[in-house]
A and B are shown apart, each in its own frame.
Chain A
Amino acid sequence: MKKTASNKPKISAEEGKRLLHQMLLIRRFEEKSAEEYTKSKIRGFLHLYVGEEAVAVGVTQSLKEEDYILSTYREHGHALARGMDPGEIMAEMFGKLEGCSMGRGGSMHLFDSKINFFGGNAIVCGHLPMAVGMALASKKQGKKNVTCCFFGEGAAAEGEFHESMNLAALWNVPVLFLCENNLYAMGTALKYTHSEQKLEKKGPAYGIETGSVNGMDLMAVMEASQKAVDYIRKTGKPYFLVCYTYRFRAHSMFDAELYREKAEVEKWKKEDPIPKFSEYLLKEKMISAEEIQEIEGKVEREIEKAIEFAENGTWEDVKDLTRFVYTESQRS
């Protein structure tokens, strides 16, 4: 597909506001989550998506309801962008029965089969083979849906990445390998982990159509992912898209960030996708400063509601501890 100005997504003012709302919801949700973590309401590992919002929001715009999504342990953004209820996510992180996974999973294991959201997978790269298998099932069943699989650049060093790329290309299955390259695998920089740091070179080695995009630019992500998804729907073949992005916060709440300079983080913050997109909307006169404030207010209320929902949630009875090990109708 040729890149022309006419291929750029032309968004309406309405869509612009909706997209800004989604990114802001993720940003404020994550900030609130960090706060709740310091209050010990959320425990375990908590990996925040702050800085990477344009990727989740941009990519999910190109997906349909029937498409499958698999994600990583840094998946709150993908879940929210997909339309998962913020209250159910917060309740999950609080460990309450009302959580999207009934509190059994926590921050790293958000699942919602109603919206075809398949985790919340916390073994790096462990979900790539499953994504290939889900796409294989779609192909066998004659379905036209796409399986979108988010992962970080750290995963691309795993054997399962290479096995999955090979299988997807070999079987010609409709899967989007969506690499969020945020430059650090936990605390180890890309240059210390990959012999070939231009990750987009790894796709063609398997005969997979590949692209890369500035993941801090919402409109660019939307365009690149739409192109990728269109290709997959048209050909039934896999596509590898690398989004260059950056997380502004630590890897997890345990991370003292000894591996990167503050100046580097500050430099990337100038690329913050949210102000960038707000400015774009303002410049194009699709939104006013007051309307941005209104969206902020709306997001604040949604998050308050989510917290309230989580707070009011119930603790599962300990007598039910061994539920969901086997299917209940089958074995007691």
Chain B
Amino acid sequence: MSKYINLSYRDALKSAIREALKNDERVFLMGEDVGHYGGAFAVSKGLLQEFGPERIMDVPLSESGFTGSGIGAALAGMKPIVEVMTVNFSLLAMDQIINNAATLLHMSGGQLNVPVVIRMGCGIGRQLAAQHSHSWEPFYAHVPGLIVLSVGTHEDARGMLLSALESPDPVILFEYTSMLNLEKEIPEDAGAVDIRQAKVLKQGKDLSLITYGTGVYKCLEAADILAGEGMDVEVIDLRVLRPMDEETFLTSITKTHRALVVEDAWRSVSISSEVAARIMEKAFYELDAPVERLCGVEVPIPYPKHLEDASVPQVYDIVEKVTKMLRP
């Protein structure tokens, strides 16, 4: 039995970066304020002092320029970790990510690999208003050629980066800034994790709660409350948003026959749309009720706390929705 340690989401991310830098000389971290400032969210605090400016590179505010440089360095044999401070700024680098990172392998007929890892802080819930509160996983998950991972748990915060660096193809890592201070117990020897499959985090037989990102802990909390009411729901963390692992949730539905998909992203053309479509295509006759969704309300995220809270699914929304589905 391995020992468990208490770790914040931030420290889990940081220990993964440290381990990667120690393990492989080709790895370096580049991003805005990652060095002298210590990282906008203090994820890389102290790493400049430990590894020096060649490995921890502060970059100017030029998202396209430095993300593209990361892609170029990856083409030429390095293993860059590019930190885009927040997903909001990543649109300035989207040309590089989509037109270059995602296409070079294909355009070159399989000649060129782009083993870059791009980390983005993201999420809603810190009263940062419309330009700094985004759940844009669906944008990136739309693009063939990218591997899109959502870091919804502390074990994944500790392990996904390490696995991503082993990938010969470009990986986008979504990290959730609202979870940075949250502490959880994880095995002391936690490390690299699978990055191909979704994960059943709680077994249940009445309904499948399918989610990712900040939805994961919310759904687990809702599942606890529902258990107290005698409702036994299964919680699935999608984790890999592209290429999407559908087997895990399709298998779950053959057991529960009901599904609710939960996400912060805007409802239209979202991850939940995709999940619902695949269930309809591949498990239609397993369903005892229509697939339901709880998503972000389609509004630029407002500043006031009560309006922001109302913009994305909360634990009580999940509890209420599941109760209605199971006890109409």
Interface residues of A (CB under 8 A from B): 68, 99-105, 109, 111-113, 118-121, 123, 126-138, 140-141, 159-160, 163-164, 166-167, 170, 323-331
Contact = CB atoms under 8 A, between A and B. Distances in A.
B99 interface: yes
Nearest to A132: B69
Interface residues of B, number: 43
Given A118-B112, A324-B105, A134 B75 contact: yes
B174 interface: no
B72 A324 contact: no
Contact of A326 (B59, B95, B112, B243): B243
B161 interface: no
A138 B243 CA distance: 32
Contact of A111 (B60, B112, B113): B112
A91 to B, nearest CB: 11
A133 B74 contact: yes
Given A129-B72, A133-B69, A113 B108 contact: yes
Given A129-B67, A129-B68, A327-B169, A104 B107 contact: yes
Ranked 5 nearest A-B pairs via Cβ: A129-B68, A133-B72, A163-B65, A102-B109, A133-B69
B113 to A, nearest CB: 6
Contact of B68 (A140, A160, A331): A160
Contacts of A132: 65, 68-69, 72
B168 interface: yes
A46 to B, nearest CB: 17
A163 B96 CA distance: 13
Contacts of A167: 59-60, 62, 65-66, 69
Interface string B88-118: 0000000110011000111111111100000
A140 B108 contact: no
Given A133-B71, A133-B72, A330 B109 contact: no
Contacts of A123: 95, 99-100
B78 interface: yes
B123 interface: no
B62 A119 contact: no
Contacts of A324: 105-106, 108-110
A130 B70 CA distance: 7
